[in-house]
Amino acid sequence: MEFEFLVDGALRKVSLEKKDSGFVFREGGTALDAEIRPVSENTLLILAGGRSHLVRIARAGERTLVALHGREYAITKPAAEAARFEQGDDKAPEGERQVRTPMPGKVIKLCVCPGEEIRKNQVLVIVEAMKMENEIVAGAPGVVKKIFVAVGEFVDPQKILIEIEPRP
């Protein structure tokens, strides 16, 4: 079976074949034999290349969050990610755009400040949810008009984080 998905915004194509008691993963010209063992509902142990890899998986809406070797990856289907970028953020009545958090969590980093010009898909805020860092990005270019949160603040889903004045 072949799969196509986005990992942190980069398109990846892999194939997966069942072989004996394990699997063969292929990406480009690289092939890797692996055995997959479930540890718990959201944790897998992957044995590959003589090493073991503990993988934690969580769902966040259309995204799958994967933690491996101290790094977190956001995985989405290409069509869903493209539609999200085309759609942009919710439009406010005054013409500004409001950037909202899709999940509950803790604001761990503000990447912009009021008055700063931003580009589409630029990281604005990082929210930690379930020990994973989630980048909240701009849906359109503009200028940061107002920031409604502070580092260390806990936020609920759909809370307005930042207001952006669209750039003409």
CA angle 5, 14, 54 (to 5 degrees): 85
Q: Which amino acid is at 49?
A: G
pLDDT of residue 27: 82
Q: Does domain 89-166 have CATH number 3.30.830.10?
A: no
**Sites in the chain below the pLDDT cut of 70:** 8-9, 78-96, 168
Given the candidates 3.30.700.30, 3.40.50.720, 3.40.50.12780, 1.10.357.10, the CATH classification of the domain at 2-79 is 3.30.700.30
Q: What is the pLDDT of residue 107?
A: 93
Q: In what order do the strands lie in the sheet with 117-118?
A: 90-91, 97-100, 160-166, 142-147, 117-118
pLDDT recorded at residue 96:
54
Residues of the chain with CATH 3.30.700.30: 2-79
Maximum C-alpha span of the chain: 61
In three-state secondary structure terms, 162 is: strand
Phi, psi for 87 (deg, rounded to 5): -70, -40
Residue 8: predicted pLDDT: 63
Q: How many other C-beta atoms lie within 10 A of the C-beta of residue 82?
A: 12
* pLDDT value for 82: 43
Where do the CATH 2.40.50.100 domains begin and end in the chain?
89-166
pLDDT tens track for 65-91: 888 888 887 887 765 444 444 444 444
pLDDT at residue 54, as a whole number:
93
pLDDT of amino acid 130: 79
